[in-house]
Amino acid sequence: MSKKKPAARESVAPRDLSAILRDAPAGGWVALSHDKAQIVATGDSMRATTLLAQSRGEDDPILVKMPLADEGLAAGVR
């Protein structure tokens, strides 16, 4: 019995979102536009942020949970 090979993943260079997320609220949820060019909504919960982004016309927002102040990878960009 042969093992199935995993599907090849397309390699994508990481995108620096630090400029876009610089003013995002610490500890909050952020919804980005599908092209990751702008913040379309922020909120205290994932659900509220998603609904707000959808009400603003972004059907499938990209959600990011921001770290608390001085924590995580984003601490250096503030």
Give the domain ranges of the chain.
Answer: 24-69
Spell out, as residue ranges, where the chain has pLDDT lower than 50.
74-75, 78
Q: Is the dihedral of CA 37, 53, 61, 28 positive or negative?
A: positive
CA-based nearest residue to 24, from 72, 64, 61, 56: 64
Residue 30 φ/ψ, nearest 5 degrees: -125, 135
Give residue 78's pLDDT. 47
At residue 73, the pLDDT reads: 59
Rounded Cα distance between 51 and 56, Å, is: 9
Q: What is the dihedral of CA 27, 30, 35, 37, to 10 degrees?
A: -80
The predicted structure's pLDDT at residue 15:
84
Specify the pTM.
0.73
